[in-house]
């Protein structure tokens, strides 16, 4: 829309986004878990992260832009169990998403 005329058009391919880190598989209650996301070659869009556990959402989730195409994600969970971790590049899930994270 004209309201955001300074912003680049979104044109992207979520299948090119990669991510890595223990936080994609495991977490420990009340401790910070981490993973990184690299959108090199995936075009221009917005990174969305969401996380849901057996008893509700994760406690706290931070996305930092670390420089061109690179992001780090830190989160804290409070409940034991399997969390669903969703990583989207615009409207599309990246490869592997939703991730299944075991929290102990």
Residues binding its own copies (CB under 8 A): 3-4, 6-7, 46-54, 56-65, 71, 81-82, 84, 86, 88, 91, 98, 100
| Closest distance of CB 44 from its own copies, Å | 9
Nearer to its own copies, 24 or 51 (CB): 51
Distance from chain centroid for Cα 2: 29
| Closest distance of CB 40 from its own copies, Å | 14
| Closest distance of CB 2 from its own copies, Å | 11
Q: 72: which strand partners?
A: 36, 64
């Amino acid at each position: 829309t004209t309201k955001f005329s300074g912003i680049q058009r979104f044109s992207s391919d979520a299948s090119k986004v990669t991510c890595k880190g223990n936080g994609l598989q495991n977490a420990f209650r009340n401790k910070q878990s981490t993973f990184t996301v690299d959108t090199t070659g995936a075009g221009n869009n917005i990174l969305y992260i969401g996380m849901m556990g057996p008893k509700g959402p994760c406690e706290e989730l931070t996305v930092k832009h670390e420089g061109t195409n690179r992001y780090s994600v830190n989160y804290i969970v409070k409940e034991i169990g399997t969390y669903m971790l969703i990583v989207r590049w615009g409207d599309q899930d990246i490869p592997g998403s939703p991730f299944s994270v075991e929290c102990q």
